[in-house]
């Protein structure tokens, strides 16, 4: 009888244990697949701050995996052979929640890797660089998390307020470069403080955020904006956040000079201010706050006709290209995503041009999507091709040694960006290359 009851009680326990092992096995298989896909797509380098996990300290509790805000959207951390691993490094945007969640302090947050360094400008706790009067906040300083970038923008503006010569009246108190999270917060803080300032942005509101994939979860913790106060959502997508910022911009009547890029920052002879030159104007100011992110200036093709309005450097809305002949140039994820999303728009004719023989830098899902569309005749792919000339109604492409003219109403160039390191050095800001260090 005792053996009977022991068996009755043991069976549920055994079933639960078997279920646990099978679930653990499925999760580990999923992590291995994600890691292999990242390797196949050459997406193994994290863009900014990221975790390094000590396998000797890791106890395999999954706390870091569960704490990652990106966990439900796409793979970042996973479990392999009972230990936590950064399985999709390119998806990590530096939330740091994994480190806080680890109960045994097995995680260190670092910049760069042994293979690829990350250039980080040297800044003081006040966000001032080695050049007095030039400040840096946000992603450019290594902080990619939106909530922290917003806070940095506000704090950096507080430091600007303490400079001698602020409020003199015959010049701008500060030129804010960039309208991403840090720049937007700094601009509102400058407005709130009554400063004479100008904000310039080479692209559009949101900076790097505007370039995130559609529907991406971009905030997971509340943030406080000057003038506005606490933002009343804890989780929001790129589209919701940009819509909120646009509403704030209109309500506060904040003025941002869009499509205006800074070309030089030169100290004035007195050493107590700067002359900031852009593609449209020149501004005398006491201080400069750089919140330009790490994406840099879009890399251009350098071909005749590229100055036309039909040439842009990122996709905003696929629907705007309905019924048009569209050329997408590039071989990374942004190019492939632009090509297949426009190809899904009714009435479009889409050509994807790439100078190399393979899409080695793109994720497998994007490669598969464009290949399926090409096989179905809804997308034309020209590998090892180069744009030679852009004209009003067509474009000339060199493909396999011959020049072809394609009807064209729109061109999207996704050729990456020129990182801001050179610009920083040109204005005297010290930059340190970090290879897997904090």
The reported pLDDT for the residue numbered 5 is 60
Q: How many CA atoms lie within 13 A of 184 on its CB side?
A: 33
d(CA 142, CA 100): 18
The reported pLDDT for the residue numbered 177 is 94
- pLDDT (mean) for 421-431: 86
What number of residues does the chain have? 438
Report the share of the chain in percent with pLDDT over 70: 87
Query: For the ranges 17-31, 42-56, 233-247, which has the lowest average pLDDT?
Result: 17-31
Question: Quick check: 220 pLDDT over 70?
Answer: no
> What would the DSSP string read from start to end of 10-49?
HHHHHHHHHHHHHHHHHHHHHHHHHHHHHHHTT--S-SSS
Question: Quick check: 300 pLDDT over 90?
Answer: no
| Residue 64: alpha-carbon gap to chain centroid | 22
- Model confidence at 342, pLDDT cuts 50, 70, 90, reads very high
d(CA 91, CA 167): 43
Question: pLDDT averaged over the chain?
Answer: 84
Residue pair 98/67 in contact (Cβ under 8 Å)? The answer is yes
Residue with tokens 């991406």: 216
- pLDDT (mean) for 384-393: 93
- pLDDT (mean) for 307-325: 87
Residue with tokens 């691993």: 85
Q: Please write the tens of the pLDDT for every residue from 76-124.
A: 888 888 889 998 887 777 777 888 899 999 999 888 777 777 777 888 8
Higher-confidence residue: 204 or 267?
Answer: 267
Q: Residue 290: is it exposed, middle or buried by C-beta count within 10 angstroms (0-12/13-18/19+)?
A: buried
Q: Please write the tens of the pLDDT for every residue from 149-159.
A: 888 899 999 99
d(CA 243, CA 248): 9
Cα distances (angstroms) measured from residue 362 to each of 90, 404, 414? 11, 26, 12
Question: Quick check: 24 pLDDT over 80?
Answer: no
Q: Which domains does the chain have, with CATH numbers?
A: 2-110 (3.30.70.20), 118-296+420-434 (3.50.50.60), 311-416 (3.50.50.60)
| Beta carbons within 8 Å of 341's beta carbon, 6+ residues apart | 214, 315, 318
Q: Hey, is 11 helix, strand or coil?
A: helix
């Amino acid at each position: 009888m005792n053996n009977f009851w022991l068996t009755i009680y043991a069976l549920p326990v055994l079933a639960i244990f078997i279920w646990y092992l099978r679930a653990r096995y499925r999760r580990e298989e999923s992590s291995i697949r994600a890691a292999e896909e990242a390797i196949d797509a050459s997406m193994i380098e994290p863009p900014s701050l990221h975790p390094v996990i000590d396998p000797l300290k890791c106890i395999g509790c999954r706390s870091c995996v569960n704490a990652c805000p990106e966990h439900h959207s796409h793979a970042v951390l996973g479990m392999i052979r009972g230990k936590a691993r950064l399985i999709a490094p390119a998806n990590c945007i530096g939330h740091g929640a994994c480190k806080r969640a680890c109960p045994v302090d097995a995680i260190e947050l670092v910049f760069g890797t042994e293979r690829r360094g990350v250039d980080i400008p040297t800044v003081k706790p006040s966000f001032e660089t080695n050049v007095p009067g030039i400040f840096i906040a946000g992603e450019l300083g290594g902080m990619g998390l939106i909530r922290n970038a917003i806070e940095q923008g506000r704090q950096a503006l507080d430091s600007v307020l303490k400079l001698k010569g602020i409020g003199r009246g015959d010049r701008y108190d500060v030129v804010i470069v960039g309208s991403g999270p840090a720049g937007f917060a700094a601009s509102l803080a400058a407005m709130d403080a009554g400063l004479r300032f100008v904000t310039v942005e080479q692209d559009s509101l949101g900076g790097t955020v505007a370039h995130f994939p559609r529907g991406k979860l971009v905030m997971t913790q509340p943030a406080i904006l000057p003038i506005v106060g606490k933002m009343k959502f804890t989780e929001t997508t790129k589209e919701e956040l940009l819509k909120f910022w646009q509403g704030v911009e209109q309500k506060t009547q904040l003025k941002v000079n869009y499509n205006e890029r800074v070309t030089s920052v030169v100290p004035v002879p007195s050493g107590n201010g700067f002359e900031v030159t852009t593609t449209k104007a020149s501004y005398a100011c006491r201080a400069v706050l750089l919140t330009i992110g790490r994406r840099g200036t879009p890399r251009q093709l350098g071909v005749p006709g590229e100055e036309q309005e039909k040439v842009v450097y990122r996709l905003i809305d696929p629907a705007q290209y309905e019924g048009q002949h569209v050329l997408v140039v590039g071989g990374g994820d942004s190019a492939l995503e632009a090509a297949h999303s426009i190809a899904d728009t009714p009435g479009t004719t889409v050509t994807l041009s790439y100078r190399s023989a393979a899409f080695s830098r793109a994720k497998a899902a994007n490669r598969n999507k464009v290949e399926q569309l090409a096989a179905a005749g809804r997308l034309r792919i020209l590998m090892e091709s180069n744009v030679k000339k852009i004209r009003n109604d067509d474009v000339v492409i060199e493909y396999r040694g011959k020049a072809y003219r394609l009807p064209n109403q729109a061109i999207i160039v996704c050729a990456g960006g020129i990182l801001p390191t050179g610009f920083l050095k040109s204005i005297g800001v010290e930059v340190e290359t970090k290879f897997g260090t904090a």
